[in-house]
């Protein structure tokens, strides 16, 4: 069984992005995998299905049979609705109208019973300047939570200032299918520090399906290029340390650079990297308020590697 600390760290941590490289599954296969993992022993770590808004009708068609067959036991409450986070590309007002139609169609009620429901409650928007954030915020309804994906080479301070006090989130791309898509540990540290100081929730995406930083194949192809990828334990424990005020930039970069699994200790009541330690309450607060989730094209791979490390 995972420790209480590992349960807190993993709870709702992984947004499933099976449609995207390197997995790049068909819609039918990605939806089927999401349905399987919702029934798995590690479903507590699974959060939302990531889908481009342009493919949301395709998602509805692929999910129909899965939603209809996932019924609760007679003595149990209905399972939670399937959660989705959609990637927006195009005019925001038209996107919001499409999201409202989807949510109305999939809401619990006369049309949908039990697990027939699904809801888009999170959106993800790429932005090139802080001014775009200001314009978007004025259009967003209260029931949608946005993550604004910031350029990895930008000065994060302007974006943090635009998001400070809004309660909305920032997103960083932490990898890709080529080595040059992977930001340095210094850039990731600056992202965590800047948005941590501004009290802005964060999400990461891409290249985080391994727990510990190391050199890995960047795709599933036999001739895949290789690169040093960030580990999600490194990144999210680093984020929790930032939130708890337990580290400075130099140590944060060292934590993000760590490649030795034994340097991490997630025990029954605390989480530690070498001589840095936070307690369970600090980790829980960081996960709930700051280090929200990461997108991964695989759910099985992070779980399997944690199991191989003896953490699950």
Confidence of residue 156 (pLDDT cuts 50, 70, 90): very high
Asked if residue 141 has pLDDT above 70, the reply is: yes
Q: What is the pLDDT of residue 70?
A: 53
Asked if residue 175 has pLDDT above 90, the reply is: yes
Global pTM value: 0.93
Whole-angstrom CA distances from 256 to 122, 134, 185, 309 are 27, 31, 6, 18
Give tens-digit pLDDT for 280-295: 999 999 999 999 999 9
Handedness of CA 170, 217, 235, 156 (dihedral sign): negative
**What residue ranges do the domains of the chain occupy?**
4-235+291-308
Q: What is the mean pLDDT of the chain?
A: 92
CA-CA distance, 264 to 275, in Å (whole number)?
10
Name the CATH code of domain 4-235+291-308 (choices 1.10.10, 3.20.20, 3.30.110, 1.10.3470). Answer: 3.20.20
Asked if residue 109 has pLDDT above 60, the reply is: no
């Amino acid at each position: 069984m995972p420790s209480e600390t590992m349960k807190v760290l993993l709870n709702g941590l992984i947004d499933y992005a099976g449609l995207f490289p390197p997995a790049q599954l068909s819609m039918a296969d990605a939806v089927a995998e999401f349905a399987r993992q919702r029934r798995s022993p590690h479903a507590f770590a699974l959060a939302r299905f990531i889908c481009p808004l342009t493919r949301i009708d395709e998602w509805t068609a692929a999910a129909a049979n899965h939603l209809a067959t996932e019924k609760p036991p007679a003595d149990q409450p209905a399972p939670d609705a399937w959660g989705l986070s959609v990637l927006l590309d195009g005019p925001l007002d038209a996107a919001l109208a499409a999201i409202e139609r989807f949510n109305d169609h999939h809401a619990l009620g006369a049309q949908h019973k039990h697990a027939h429901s699904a809801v888009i409650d999170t959106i993800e928007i790429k932005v090139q300047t802080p001014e775009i954030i200001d314009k978007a915020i004025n259009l967003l309804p209260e029931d949608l939570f946005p993550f604004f994906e910031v350029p990895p080479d930008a000065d994060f301070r302007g974006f943090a200032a635009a998001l400070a006090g809004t309660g909305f989130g920032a997103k960083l791309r932490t990898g890709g299918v080529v080595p040059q898509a992977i930001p340095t540990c210094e850039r990731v540290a600056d992202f965590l520090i800047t948005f941590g100081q501004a009290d802005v929730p964060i999400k990461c995406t891409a290249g985080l399906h391994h727990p510990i930083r190391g050199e890995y194949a960047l795709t599933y192809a036999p001739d895949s290029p290789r690169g040093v990828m960030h580990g999600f334990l490194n990144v999210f424990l680093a984020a929790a340390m930032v939130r708890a005020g337990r580290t400075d930039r130099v140590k944060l970069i060292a934590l993000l650079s760590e490649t030795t699994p034994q340097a991490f200790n997630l025990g029954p009541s605390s989480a530690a990297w070498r001589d840095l330690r936070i307690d369970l309450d600090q980790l829980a607060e960081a996960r709930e308020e700051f280090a929200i989730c990461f997108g991964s094209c695989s759910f099985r791979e992070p779980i399997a590697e944690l199991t191989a490390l003896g953490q699950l």
